[in-house]
Amino acid sequence: MATGMAIALGTDPWEIFQRMSTAEFAATLVVIAKHLDTEKYTKHQRGPKKKPPKKLSGKPHSHVSTARILALRA
């Protein structure tokens, strides 16, 4: 049993489950699951992706290598 659940509820509510066989416990879980509202527990769908930033190619001052600058000076 989880420590938090033991602190919140104590051990009395869980004793019934400890006395059950594995088959009885599984059947009880199925009955409980049938009564759950599953829409309360569904995840939200992911929102739309952000568009990638525009590429900066073709800008007026592009990079020029140092070797090219030195070659022009010589």
Distances (CA, A) of 27 to 4, 7, 22, 30, 36: 25, 27, 9, 5, 15
- Give the global pTM: 0.45
Q: Is residue 64 part of a domain?
A: no
The answer to the question of residue 56 being in a domain is no
Please compute the mean of the pLDDT values over residues 27-48 and round it to a whole number: 89
Residue at 57 is within a domain:
no
Please count the structural domains in the chain: 1
- Domain span at residue 36? 1-43
- 66 in a domain, yes or no? no
Residue 50 in any domain: the answer is no
pLDDT tens digits, residue range 12-33? Answer: 888 888 899 999 999 999 999 9
Is residue 25 in a domain? yes
Distance CA 15, CA 9 (A): 12
